[in-house]
Amino acid sequence: MAVDPRSVEAQGWLADALTGRVLDNVTDTAEADIARAESLAAQALAASPRSPLAHLAKGQVLRAQGRFEEAIPEYETIVASNRNWVFAISNLGQCKLFTGALDEVIPLQEQALRLSPRDPNIGVYYLRIGLVHLLQSRTDEAIIWLEKARGAMSGHPMPHAFLASVHALEGEIERAAAELTEARRLSGDDRYSSITHLKAAGYFGATAPGYFGAPKIRALFKATYFAGLRKAGMPEE
């Protein structure tokens, strides 16, 4: 950017990096990061409206803002021009999840796995498959995929939290409590201290209107994920 402020590639990748910090919960300046990324994505699209990278930047911004419905056509544009862009395929699946199109999520993650079986982000693909099984109360399948995610995402609390819920729903309270304890240990904040804190953070927070997804998805999270966490010992407040 310092050498060429009008570089679409620099604008696109910088926007992706900034939104990545927000999506991964590793920034204390989320609002500023999203605002800068939004500006960079707009510049990139204005200069090169057919650039897949510019559309990726826009899709990432919309995803970070919780505007999943609007992000879908951005990722679809990328995949239409490059059917092997695994990152776009997987994130399209996540957007489908939060807009309620659950039947489309697992096939997209499986496509990502076929295209890139040694992908550095493979744990995320496992996690999304496991989450869909959890939301649809297929606990046996959920455990298989979430354990894969746990192994591939060493040090990340989310697979442990999902496993805590699944094991509790299966009646395995000791295993559930152990996974919840590990999620709390690995988390950089207090989101796993209570249901209230968890709903205020990450995917479940108020970063943007509708960030928690469609009403159908909110209802499924309430009936499965949060119900399991309560059984695992997570207090309400």
Give 163-199 pLDDT, tens digit per residue: 999 999 999 999 999 999 999 999 988 999 999 999 8
Question: How far, in Å, CA of 22 to CA of 104, rounded?
Answer: 25
Q: Max CA-CA distance within the chain?
A: 59
Sorted by sequence, the CB contacts under 8 Å of residue 40 that are 6+ apart come out as: 11, 12, 14, 15, 18, 57
The answer to whether the CB of 148 falls within 8 A of the CB of 117 is: no
Question: How far, in Å, CA of 135 to CA of 59, rounded?
Answer: 25
From 135, 220, 164, 233, select the one nearest 193 (Cα to Cα): 233
- Stretch 119-146: mean pLDDT, rounded? 97
Domain ranges of the chain: 1-65, 86-232
Residue 200 pLDDT: 82
- For tokens 């910088």, the residue is 14
Residue 90 pLDDT class (50, 70, 90 cuts): very high
Residue 208 pLDDT: 46
Question: How far, in Å, CA of 104 to CA of 56, rounded?
Answer: 20
Question: How far, in Å, CA of 222 to CA of 219, rounded?
Answer: 5
Q: Is the pLDDT of residue 206 over 70?
A: no
Provide, rounded to the nearest whole percent, the portion of the chain with pLDDT above 90: 88
Residue 207 pLDDT: 47
Residue 209 pLDDT: 45
Q: Is the pLDDT of residue 222 over 70?
A: yes
Tokens representing residue 59 in the block: 């899709």
Residue 104 pLDDT class (50, 70, 90 cuts): very high
What is the rounded average pLDDT for all residues in the chain? 94
Sorted by sequence, the CB contacts under 8 Å of residue 89 that are 6+ apart come out as: 75, 79, 108, 111, 112, 115
Q: Which numeric CATH code is attached to 86-232? A: 1.25.40.10
Sorted by sequence, the CB contacts under 8 Å of residue 155 that are 6+ apart come out as: 186
Residue 101 pLDDT: 96
Q: How many residues does the chain have?
A: 237
- Stretch 211-236: mean pLDDT, rounded? 92
Residue 201 pLDDT class (50, 70, 90 cuts): confident
Q: What is the dihedral of CA 121, 125, 126, 132, to 10 degrees?
A: 150
Residue 92 pLDDT class (50, 70, 90 cuts): very high
Residue 37 pLDDT: 98
Question: How far, in Å, CA of 212 to CA of 3, rounded?
Answer: 39
Sorted by sequence, the CB contacts under 8 Å of residue 186 that are 6+ apart come out as: 155, 156, 157, 160
Residue 211 pLDDT class (50, 70, 90 cuts): low
Residue 204 pLDDT: 59
The answer to whether the CB of 164 falls within 8 A of the CB of 232 is: yes
